[in-house]
């Protein structure tokens, strides 16, 4: 009889530990022999660092790819997507098609973004083209809305830069990098409030790319009604949807936590905008996710011991165009409501069923293609091997808004295609 899986985690969350215990797995310390380690992003750096030279054996798996930050650091995500576009353009791919103004028709899904301080001059040039626009500044390596602020004057950037340079605590060489992005100032509002989508995506392998979409994502709402007024630029309860920020607001509701399920959003949009445009919106969101993963796949260290459950943040504007804002390597497993706890417990349960087949001691030589029955609330979003065997023109046919090919996977809830076999 096979032995029991030995697990370790440095993230003490009940949704994780309850899942491990339910399976009858055995807890050990990181210094003992372990099979499964759900670790923080800091720990993954140590495991794969050149200095420690840790070698994982075939019966060990971890929940991050070594250089996951190629997608989850805000500056690197944008850099990789820009590189991907250029490569497709160079190859003459129809995906890189542009309109008469030089704007990408299909790959325009990240707001205009620059790195600071490196791209300061380029940013100034862009700012001067539309001086009435609002921009959002974010530190590259932080999460939960920390360090974010909005600006609409160049003098505000100069002040930020000056304050950073004159700080006696931080030298210029170690000064934190920021990204500055054009603020989506026309977000879709529901009940007058801004919201974003948190969607979960599981990647089991990057080469070939195989990824799964979790059907039970949610919307996070701001507690204060949205206004584009410049007098409210400093009010983060108007602009930032992060629960870590909104839970401190006077109007925060501790029962529903300012959240809606994605299925509720879908029903709302179908009743107010119609089924067709709603389905097109969700097709485009799935398209964006696959393209962002394809953008980083060539640079990702596709270690066979790794899988990753990403938290995607998407904003929808009032024209029902989705925008990729950022991707999180360690989406929060803290439960702010009872529904939250259930969702996150099920998310981990379904993730483990795919990552650790049958709950048995892992063998990272397996082909990472589980049977449909174990997917739970996941559905296959893209399978590169299937796609490659399906004709070279599939990518062109399955762009957003195009008729879907015959082998695209079907969702159980909507009967619509999830474009699971884009080339």
Q: Which domain holds residue 28?
A: 6-66
For residues 286 and 109, give the distance between their C-alpha atoms in angstroms, rounded to a whole number: 12
Q: Which residues are bridge partners to 62 per DSSP?
A: 37, 306
DSSP letter (8 states) at residue 184? -
Contact 199, 314 (CB under 8 A): yes
Is position 164 within any domain?
no
Please give the Cα distance from 109 to 331 (Å, whole number).
Answer: 21
Instruction: Say if 170 falls within a structural domain.
Output: no
Structurally, the chain folds into a number of domains equal to 3
The answer for residues whose C-beta is within 8 angstroms of residue 217's C-beta and 6 or more apart is: 197, 198, 199, 200, 261, 262
pLDDT of 251: 59
pLDDT by residue, tens only, the chain of 423 residues = 358 999 999 998 999 999 999 999 999 998 899 999 999 998 998 888 877 767 889 999 999 999 999 999 989 999 999 999 999 999 999 999 999 988 999 999 999 999 988 888 999 999 999 888 889 888 886 665 567 888 888 888 877 776 665 444 343 444 578 899 998 989 999 999 889 999 999 999 999 999 999 999 999 888 778 877 665 666 665 666 665 655 555 555 555 556 889 999 999 999 999 999 999 999 999 999 999 999 999 999 999 999 999 999 999 999 999 999 999 998 989 887 888 899 999 999 999 999 998 888 888 877 767 888 899 999 999 999 888 876 544 554 455 544 333 233 333 333 333 343 343
pLDDT value at position 153?
86
> Which of 83-95 are b and which e, b meaning 16 or more Cβ less than 10 Å from the residue's Cβ?
ebbeebeeeeeeb
Give yes or no: residues 129 and 253 share one domain.
Answer: no
Give a yes or no: residue 423 inside a domain.
no
How far is the CA of 249 from the CAs of 148, 194, 206, 235, 238, in angstroms?
17, 15, 40, 11, 10
Q: Let me know: does 195 contact 221? Beta carbons within 8 Å.
A: yes
Please check whether residue 169 lies inside any domain of the structure.
no
Could you tell me if 280 and 305 lie in one domain? Answer: yes
Please report how the helices 338-355 and 14-22 are oriented relative to each other, as an axis angle in degrees rounded to 10. 50
Inter-residue contact 113 to 179 (CB < 8 Å): yes
Within-domain flag for 58: yes
Question: CA 228 to CA 234: how far, in whole Å?
Answer: 11
Long-range contacts formed by 357-363: CB under 8 A, 24+ apart = 359/5, 359/23, 359/24, 359/25, 360/2, 360/5, 361/2, 361/3, 361/4, 361/5, 361/35, 361/59, 362/5, 362/35, 362/36, 362/58, 362/59, 362/60, 362/61, 363/58, 363/59
Instruction: Let me know whether 206 and 132 are in one domain.
Output: no
Cβ contacts of 233 within 8 Å, gap of 6 or more: 134, 150, 151, 152, 239
C-alpha 322/C-alpha 290 separation (Å) is 14
Q: What is the CATH number of the domain that holds 276?
A: 3.30.470.20
Based on the fold, state whether residues 46 and 56 are members of the same structural domain. yes
> In degrees rounded to 5, what are phi and psi of residue 269?
-70, -35
Q: Are residues 24 and 50 in the same domain?
A: yes
Q: What is the pLDDT of residue 234?
A: 61
**Tokens coding 62:** 């971890």
Residue 390's pLDDT is what? 61
Residues 31 and 52 in one domain: yes
Summarize pLDDT for 367-413 with one digit per residue, the tens: 767 888 899 999 999 999 888 876 544 554 455 544 333 233 333 33
In this structure, are 213 and 99 located in the same domain?
yes
Integer Cα distance of 104 and 100 in angstroms: 10
Q: Are residue 282 and residue 200 in the same domain, yes or no?
A: yes
- CB atoms under 10 Å from CB of 155, counted, come to 8
**Residues whose CB falls within 8 Å of the CB of residue 341, separated by 6 or more in sequence, listed in order:** 14, 15, 335
Would you state the pLDDT for residue 256? Answer: 58
Which two structure tokens, joined as six digits, stand for 159? 């002040």
Same-domain check for residues 282 and 215: yes
Q: Are residues 96 and 245 in the same domain?
A: yes
Note if the pTM is more than 0.85.
yes
User: Do both 23 and 93 map to the same domain?
Assistant: no
Indicate whether 55 belongs to any domain.
yes
Structure tokens belonging to residue 267: 């029903």
Let me know whether 137 and 61 are in one domain. no
Which pLDDT does position 111 carry in this prediction? 93
């Amino acid at each position: 009889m096979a032995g029991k899986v030995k697990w370790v985690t440095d993230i003490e969350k009940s949704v994780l530990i309850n899942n491990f215990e339910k399976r009858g797995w055995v807890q050990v310390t990181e210094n003992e022999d372990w099979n499964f380690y759900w670790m923080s992003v800091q720990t993954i750096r140590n495991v794969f660092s050149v200095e420690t030279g840790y070698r994982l054996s075939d019966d060990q798996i971890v929940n991050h790819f070594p250089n996951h930050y190629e997608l989850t650091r805000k500056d690197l995500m944008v850099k990789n997507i820009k590189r991907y576009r250029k490569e497709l353009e160079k190859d003459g791919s129809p995906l890189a098609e542009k309109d008469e103004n030089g704007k990408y028709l299909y790959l325009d899904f990240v707001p205009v973004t620059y790195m600071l301080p490196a791209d300061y001059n380029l940013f100034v040039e862009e700012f001067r083209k539309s001086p009435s626009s609002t921009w959002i500044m974010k530190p590259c390596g932080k999460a939960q809305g920390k360090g974010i602020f909005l600006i609409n004057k160049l003098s505000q950037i100069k002040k930020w830069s000056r304050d950073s340079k004159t700080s006696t605590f931080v030298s210029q060489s170690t000064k934190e990098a920021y990204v500055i992005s054009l603020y989506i100032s026309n977000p879709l509002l529901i009940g007058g409030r801004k919201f974003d989508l948190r969607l979960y995506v599981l990647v089991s392998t990057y080469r070939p790319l195989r990824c799964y979409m979790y059907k039970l994502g949610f919307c996070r709402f701001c507690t204060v009604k949205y206004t584009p007024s410049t007098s409210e630029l400093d009010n983060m309860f108007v602009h930032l949807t992060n629960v870590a920020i909104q839970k401190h607001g006077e109007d925060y509701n501790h029962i529903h936590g300012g959240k809606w399920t994605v299925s509720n959003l879908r029903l709302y949009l179908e009743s107010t905008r119609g089924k067709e445009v709603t389905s097109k919106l969700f097709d485009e969101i799935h398209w964006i996710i696959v393209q962002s993963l394809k953008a980083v796949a060539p640079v990702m260290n596709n270690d066979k011991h790794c899988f990753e459950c990403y938290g995607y943040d998407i904003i929808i504007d009032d024209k029902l165009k989705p925008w990729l804002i950022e991707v999180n390597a360690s989406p929060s497993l803290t439960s702010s409501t009872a529904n939250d706890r259930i969702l996150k417990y099920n998310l981990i349960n379904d993730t483990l069923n795919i990552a650790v087949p049958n709950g048995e001691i892992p063998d990272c030589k397996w082909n990472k293609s589980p049977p449909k029955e174990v997917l739970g609330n996941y559905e296959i979003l893209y399978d590169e091997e299937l796609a490659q065997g399906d004709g070279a023109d599939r990518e062109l046919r399955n762009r957003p808004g195009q008729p879907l090919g015959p082998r695209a996977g079907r969702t159980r809830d909507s009967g619509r295609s999830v474009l699971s076999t884009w080339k």
